[in-house]
Amino acid sequence: MEVRASWSYVSISPQKLRLVCDQVRGMGAEQAMAALQFMPQKGAVIVRKLVASALANAENNYDLSAEDMIITKIFADGGPMLKRFKAGARGRYKPRKRRTSHLTVILAEREAN
């Protein structure tokens, strides 16, 4: 059984989120929550909230145990960019791209041995 949670239009670049996603991919869900709590990155807070949401989906919608869940897939795709500008020297235009992300977490039950 797979449980999914997603968060669209997160105001952080996908590159920064992928650094955090790579750290928790394949971990148990509760172990990942503990690891994310002590990471200093802004993306760790976002990923932790989404993993908590996926765990809540698993428990409330499918009656699955949180201890048995592992993170099988977690990925951050690029969302739309907000194109802004900043005035530069000599009347020039300095473009700024405010990047957004679409984050998805997929949990699955751990295989029983």
| pLDDT classification of 113: cutoffs 50, 70, 90 | low
Strand-pairing partners, residue 108, are 2, 70
The answer to whether residue 111 scores a pLDDT higher than 90 is no
The answer to whether residue 96 scores a pLDDT higher than 70 is yes
Left, alpha or beta for 26 (phi > 0: left; psi -120 to 50: alpha)?
left
pLDDT at position 60 is 95
At 79-89, the pLDDT tens digits run 999 999 999 99
Nearest C-alpha neighbor of 97 from the set 111, 78, 113: 78
Q: What domains lie within the chain, and their CATH numbers?
A: 2-109 (3.90.470.10)
At 22-71, the pLDDT tens digits run 999 999 999 999 999 999 999 999 999 999 999 999 999 999 999 999 99
At 8-36, the pLDDT tens digits run 999 999 999 999 999 999 999 999 999 99
Number of Cα atoms under 13 Å in the Cβ half of residue 99: 11
